[in-house]
């Protein structure tokens, strides 16, 4: 299967489906098993892997790095995305008394250095700030970004869970434009359609990354009336398009949007990853797309 890439003027390339490693530690794979899964994922055309320093109580980066270490040259075939900024309460950091955010230049650089050691690599393709902080100092962030870029330790920068005002604010301080914003987008969560972020992405040619595209499973196994409404609409569209699986309809709904949304698929099941890749070839018409949107809002378009 051909690898579909997106390109920006910054020369960043990532696959149009990203494998998310948020629950990597829960998969309980050996390094050899994770290596085999990674190779299968690459063979499908998914070459980008999403991490954060805190995932798995600060274990997931190293688990992936141990697998990469088993095959020389594999690092050059993939893109690594990771995040920093959140400080969790953890037995690994007994001095912490409160969950907090830290976007000091010192912490960002130290986080990247630690991630590089975990991944057994000398560069990160894309670094994201994990969440906006009420004590955010953009000058500190810009200082760290400039240093990491000059050192060749991070190639590109972005954010996660920022609104358009926060994104614009940071963009005025950094030397190179931020390349993406990873936010929660799914037929269940329309927050970024409502708050203007999707319009902002379109205006500025920013390809957003969508975490939790299946709404934590609530779209496949609905637990409330809203989820059931959406699931019914998804089934109807799947039947109309003769699609075998509802999750393919969800991925198609995201991929067909003109904002060029990039789903982050957090699974180790190869058939789920294959469904996500195949969804890009599904041709959903406007009425079908809006049927799912309206099912989510619970009322017809004005």
Q: What is residue 244's predicted lDDT score, i.e. its pLDDT? A: 87
Active-site amino acid positions = 55
86: its two tokens: 């959140």
Q: What is residue 35's predicted lDDT score, i.e. its pLDDT? A: 98
- Please say whether the dihedral angle defined by the alpha carbons of residues 264, 231, 189 and 287, taken in this order, is positive or negative: positive
Which pTM does this prediction carry? 0.95
Instruction: Give the separation between CA 106 and CA 108, rounded to whole angstroms.
Output: 6
Q: What is residue 7's predicted lDDT score, i.e. its pLDDT? A: 33
Q: How far is CA 226 from CA 130, 192, 219, 221, 240, in A?
A: 28, 18, 9, 12, 21
Q: What is residue 2's predicted lDDT score, i.e. its pLDDT? A: 37
**Superfamily for domain range 5-179:** NADP-dependent oxidoreductase domain (3.20.20.100)
DSSP output for 198-213: HHHHHHTT---EEE-T
Q: What is residue 11's predicted lDDT score, i.e. its pLDDT? A: 75
DSSP symbol at 260 = -
Mean pLDDT per 10-residue interval, the chain, length 302 residues: 37 93 98 98 98 98 98 96 98 96 98 98 98 98 98 97 97 96 98 96 97 95 96 98 96 97 98 96 97 97 94
Instruction: Tell me the domain boundaries of the chain.
Output: 5-179
Q: What is residue 60's predicted lDDT score, i.e. its pLDDT? A: 98
Contact 157, 179 (CB under 8 A): yes
């Amino acid at each position: 299967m051909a690898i579909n890439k997106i390109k920006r003027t910054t020369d960043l390339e990532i696959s149009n489906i990203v494998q998310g490693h948020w629950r990597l530690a829960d998969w309980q794979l050996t390094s050899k098993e994770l290596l085999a899964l990674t190779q299968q994922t690459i063979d499908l055309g998914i070459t980008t892997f999403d991490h954060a320093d805190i995932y798995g109580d600060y274990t997931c980066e190293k688990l992936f790095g141990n697998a990469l270490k088993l095959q020389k040259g594999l690092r050059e075939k993939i893109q690594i995305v990771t995040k920093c900024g959140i400080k969790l309460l953890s037995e690994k950091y007994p001095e912490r008394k409160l969950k907090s955010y830290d976007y000091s230049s010192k912490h960002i650089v130290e986080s990247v250095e630690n991630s590089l050691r975990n991944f057994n690599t000398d560069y990160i393709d894309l670094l994201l700030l994990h969440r906006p902080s009420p004590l955010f100092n953009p000058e500190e962030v810009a200082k760290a970004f400039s240093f990491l870029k000059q050192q060749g330790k991070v190639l590109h920068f972005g954010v996660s869970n920022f609104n358009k005002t926060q994104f614009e604010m940071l963009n005025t301080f950094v030397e190179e434009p931020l390349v993406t914003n990873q936010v929660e987008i799914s037929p269940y969560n329309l927050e970024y359609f409502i708050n203007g972020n999707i319009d902002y992405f379109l205006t500025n040619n920013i390809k957003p990354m969508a975490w939790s595209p299946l709404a934590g499973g609530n779209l496949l196994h609905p637990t409330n009336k809203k989820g059931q409404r959406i699931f019914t609409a998804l089934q109807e569209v799947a039947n109309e398009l003769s699609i075998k699986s509802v999750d393919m309809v969800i991925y198609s709904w995201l991929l067909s949007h003109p904002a060029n949304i990039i789903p982050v698929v957090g699974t180790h099941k190869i058939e789920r990853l294959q469904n996500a890749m195949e969804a890009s070839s599904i041709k959903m018409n406007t009425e079908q797309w809006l049927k799912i949107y309206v099912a989510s809002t619970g009322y017809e378009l004005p």
